[in-house]
Structure 1
Amino acid sequence: MHYPMRGCMLVVMDAHATPEDIQAVCTVIEDMGLQANTMPGPTRTAIGITGNKGAIAEAARLKLMPGVRDVIRVTAPYKLVSREYREADTIIEINGVQIGGPSLVVMAGPCSVEGRKQLLTTAEAVKAAGATILRGGAFKPRTSPYSFQGMGEDGLKLLAEARELTGMPVITEVMDTEQVDLVAEYADILQLGARNMQNFALLKRVGRTRRPVMLKRGLSSTVKDWLLSAEYIMAEGNQAVILCERGIRTFDDHSRGTFDLSVVPVLRELTHLPIIVDPSHATGRWQSILPMARAGIASGADGLMIEVHPNPAEAWSDGEQSLLPERFVELMEQVERIADAMDRPIQGRTKAATV
């Protein structure tokens, strides 16, 4: 069982600590009835202590052990999520695709799965252009109860088929606790949408799965709100969390939302988690997606989520913010130039990539 992290502690090992020193500290922590989470970093190894209800009475004992440089209390309100807790960036690997590493990842596909031909056509096109993760909604949270709500399990089956044909991992949204097991059966990454960012029962439930979770920022949420929601997931034992900026609600209405790219460098300081940006949902206009995708990569994000549809004019949801496949190729070509300037290659992208 995982308890609130009111007294979260971090054991910082000396740079010259031996594997035996590290194991001895882990053994003592486990003898206390707590969990030891070893986190090798570029300059140090740290051991996070989780499972405590409050302050750790035997912290002084740990300080005296061989190889221990310090025992510190994590002061941020979010503990496991914080850069204090983990120095090195988290890298999540799914079937050979890395999220959060030195290279960039592009997730692309239709807003909604509408049928086999539509999905497979889009999947083949985005893969040819250099995308490495396929997105597509089987369950759709819609503002209007009369709008298309998704194909449900039939849509999940089509996503699984597309994965088999293209080799791309699949990300799709889960909307409530009852859907988690079903969606996890088919998807490689579980997406929690903006409307569910503070659905605490759902956060805890996906935290008990071992599927990576992408958590979108709520429409009116602060950074602190967002990171505490990620903490809910991690506190349940799921360390594979991805953050996604998708635009927030402000007083202006020139676009669907305000694309808060200033949050990316702030997150870099506060958390070790990977950061994806979604210019499709942020702007709501296909004309704005390309320049905002360029800006998203320049801001330091670890990747993009882009909506692509073979015929946006007839899309069942969000056609106005979906790119035609040929426009997606143009986006990838331009984004690649930004990525090259930052020495961050795009996974799956080759110079000759075409649809």
Structure 2
Amino acid sequence: MVIVMGPDATPEDTDNLVELAASVGGEAYVTRGAGRTIIGLVGDVERFANLDLRAQPGVSDVRRTSAPYRLVSQENAVSRSVVRVGGVPLGGDTTTVIAGPCAVETPEQTLAAARMAQEAGASLLRGGAYKPRTSPYSFQGLGEAGLKILSDVRDETGLPIVTEVVDAADVELVASHADMLQIGARNMQNFALLHAAGEAGRPVLLKRGMTATIEEWLMAAEHIAQRGNLDIVLCERGIRTFENATRNTLDISAVPVAQKLSHLPVIVDPSHSGGQRDLVLPLSRAAIAAGADGVIVDVHPAPETALCDGPQALVDADLAELASAVRALSGLLGRPLAAAPAPEAAVV
């Protein structure tokens, strides 16, 4: 059972409902997002029904849900969620482009990539300070030094930061620099990390695991929501199949399916799914045409020297074509590009 709170509900109204649930032996999980508060109830449904929850102050609706991911389910939403990152919307009636280097290498490289991203219409900057790599001998990221570089580039460009966190112990540090925390595909079911991210007070970008079903992906989002955070964006980044012509197989059908099952925004990562520069543009077109709320792409000023994923990073000519395609398709669908905020609005 789920309680949807009204826009005028007070913290006292929410606390009262938590106490009511406890009075009949139930548990209540309060989760908040931009403009909405949902309380998930666990316990005896009949006992909850006897509480006359709809009559309680601050309550907009009470719903029984069949989905195991009750907080992120579309069943329990009045409308689709819009998640705001440093003032930039993800979801709603806009299309959002997130772009930047897969890995932060130097201040100069990161700033150059951020400028490239801006010219392509990006309103959020992605960049990895911590890099979980398949090989222990591959570049693992600059860590805290990389976070400081990203912060400096945000101050310079005004682009809010999306960056990955790979360890629950690092969540507080990363959240002190980032505008949005990214949970990568390899960590989609790292439950300690999901819980810590849910408690960090930052929006979360949750990538689908390489072998995860859509339900498992949504259940991972539920772990974040259950810790109090509904500001979650789902990212389809390709799944592992028998096909080896691409790095991963982009499951474009996951976009409408996830949007049907959940109220959360859904974006696509065409860079890590295709793994090749010449595939990023057609996969981006497919994502936007399928109704994705945005795309996240790799860019690099000198991909031939990149320490991570150079073959899939876009360069100037590719970015110009991407910008043209995204603007044209978004316009046809009535979803203009989300604009970047002023520099001062992006500072954490």
Match of 2:2 in 1: 9
What residue identity is the alignment partner of 1:29?
L
**Cα offset for 1:36?**
6.6
Structure 1 position 276 matched with structure 2 position 272: no
Q: Do the aligned partners of 2:197 and 2:224 also contact (CA within 8 Å) in 1? A: yes
CA positional deviation for 1:313? 0.9
Instruction: Indicate conservation of the 8 Å contact 2:116/2:299, yes or no.
Output: no
- After TM superposition, the structure 1 stretch with the greater mean CA deviation from structure 2, 271-280 or 80-89, is 80-89
Q: 1:24 to 1:222 in 2, by over 3 A?
A: same
1:215 aligns with 2:188: no
Alpha-carbon shift at residue 9 of structure 1 (Å) = 2.9
Q: Partner residue of 1:29? A: 17
Give the Cα separation in 2 of the matches to 1:221 and 1:338.
29
Q: Partner amino acid for 1:292?
A: L
Relative to the length of structure 2, the TM-score reads 0.88
CA shift in 2, pair 1:38/1:311, >3 Å: closer
Q: Are residues 1:86 and 2:77 paired?
A: yes
Aligned to 2:344: none
SS class of match (2:234): strand
Superimposed CA distance per residue, residues 129-188 of structure 1 (whole angstroms, 9 cap, x where no aligned partner): 211000111111111111111111111100000000011100111011111111111111
Report how many aligned residue pairs link the two structures: 333
How far apart are the structure 2 equivalents of 1:97 and 1:190? 15
Task: Could you tell me which runs of 5 or more consecutive residues in structure 2 were left unpaired when the two chains were aligned.
Answer: 23-27, 341-348
What are structure 1's unaligned runs of at least 5 residues?
1-7, 350-355
Which residue, 333, 336, 340 being the options, matches 2:331? 340
**Matching residue of 2:49:** 59
* % identical aligned pairs: 44
1-structure distance, mates of 2:305, 2:34: 50
State the shift of 1:101 in Å.
2.0
Matches within 5 A, 1:66-145: 71-145=62-136
- What is the CA-CA distance between 1:48 and the residue it aligns to? 3.8
Contact 1:177 1:201 in 2 (8 A): yes
Query: Which structure would you say has the larger RCO, counting Cα contacts within 8 Å and 6 or more residues apart?
Result: 2
In the TM superposition, residue 11 of structure 1 has moved relative to its aligned partner by 5.9
- Judge which range, 279-288 or 64-73, deviates more: 64-73
Q: Distance in 1 between matches of 2:88 and 2:245?
A: 36
Contact map agreement 2:30 2:228 (CA 8 A) in 1: no
Deviations 1:179-204 (A, max 9, x none): 11111111111101000000111111
Query: 8 Å contact 1:112–1:140 — kept in the other structure?
Result: yes
